[in-house]
């Protein structure tokens, strides 16, 4: 499978004296460890919708794989961590595309399981993908669901965060975002057709919205 690249602008932040690049695909790159972190891809959801009659174009299936390739090509990571909900539900015809994609990737692949990850762990193990409930490294706690744990900074997904931006008039725009608080960073949903949950930032929170191939600090 071949997918065209697109021009993008990343944004760099620091957490616990470590550097992270926010990519407009919704992925996060841990520079010191060469780890690409991705949450809530929900592969198979397009086929799931089409099965039940939703008017979703067939070529939309390849959109997630195009974004995955874009992120991998941009960062060339040693490892890729999926923060849960990699596949939306039971196996469907998108699994064969996932197998093809995995075979093209040289990086180590790890899935931190989420609530949608109901496919047998054996199927992932056959592809060389390691499954974990969570990962702790250098003071970071990587999970699917947001967690508060004393002494750790949580990097997670699940929420599909978005932020609402209001103009001078009555118009407003809702954008997916990276949502950073004192002890937590919530990644946006990577997958297409996933929906989003609007969060209201507090004064001390930082929000990095994704718009037009760019990550913008709000």
Residue 184's domain is classified under what CATH number? 3.60.21
The answer as to whether 167 is a domain residue is yes
Q: Is the dihedral of CA 86, 161, 12, 3 positive or negative?
A: positive
Percent above pLDDT 70 for the chain: 84
Q: What is the largest CA-CA distance in the chain?
A: 55
The tens digit of pLDDT for each residue in 31-53 reads 999 999 999 998 976 554 544 44
The answer as to whether 6 is a domain residue is no
At 105, phi and psi to the nearest 5?
A: -100, 130
Q: What whole-number distance in Å separates Cα of residue 35 and Cα of residue 151? A: 22
Residue of 81, 43, 74, 77 lying closest to 60 (CA atoms): 43
The answer as to whether 63 is a domain residue is yes
Q: What whole-number distance in Å separates Cα of residue 51 and Cα of residue 145? A: 28
The answer as to whether 48 is a domain residue is yes
The answer as to whether 41 is a domain residue is yes
Q: What whole-number distance in Å separates Cα of residue 111 and Cα of residue 143? A: 10
Domain encompassing residue 66: 11-217
The answer as to whether 5 is a domain residue is no
* Domains: count for the chain: 1
The tens digit of pLDDT for each residue in 125-177 reads 999 999 999 999 999 999 999 999 999 999 999 999 999 987 666 677 899 99
The answer to whether residue 95 scores a pLDDT higher than 60 is yes
Q: What whole-number distance in Å separates Cα of residue 114 and Cα of residue 80? A: 16
At 94, phi and psi to the nearest 5?
A: -75, -15
The answer to whether residue 205 scores a pLDDT higher than 60 is yes
Give the chain's mean pLDDT.
Answer: 88
């Amino acid at each position: 499978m071949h997918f065209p690249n697109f021009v993008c602008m990343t944004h760099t932040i620091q957490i616990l004296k470590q550097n992270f690049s926010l990519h407009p695909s919704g992925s996060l790159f841990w520079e010191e460890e060469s780890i690409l972190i991705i949450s809530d891809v929900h592969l198979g959801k397009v086929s799931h919708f089409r099965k039940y009659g939703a008017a979703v174009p067939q070529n939309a299936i390849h959109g997630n794989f195009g974004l995955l390739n874009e992120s991998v090509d941009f960062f060339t990571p040693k490892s890729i961590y999926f923060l849960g909900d990699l596949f939306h539900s039971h196996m469907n015809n998108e699994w064969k595309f996932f197998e093809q994609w995995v075979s093209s990737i040289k990086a180590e692949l790890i899935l931190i399981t989420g609530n949608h990850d109901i496919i047998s762990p054996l199927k992932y193990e056959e592809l060389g993908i390691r499954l974990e409930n969570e990962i702790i490294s250098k003071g970071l706690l990587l999970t699917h669901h947001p967690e508060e744990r004393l002494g750790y900074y949580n990097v997670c997904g699940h929420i599909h965060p978005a932020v609402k931006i209001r103009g001078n008039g009555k118009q407003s725009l809702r954008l997916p975002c990276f949502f950073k608080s004192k002890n937590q960073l919530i990644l946006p949903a990577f997958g297409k057709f996933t929906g989003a949950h609007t969060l209201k930032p507090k004064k001390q929170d930082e929000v990095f919205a994704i718009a037009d191939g760019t990550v913008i600090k709000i």
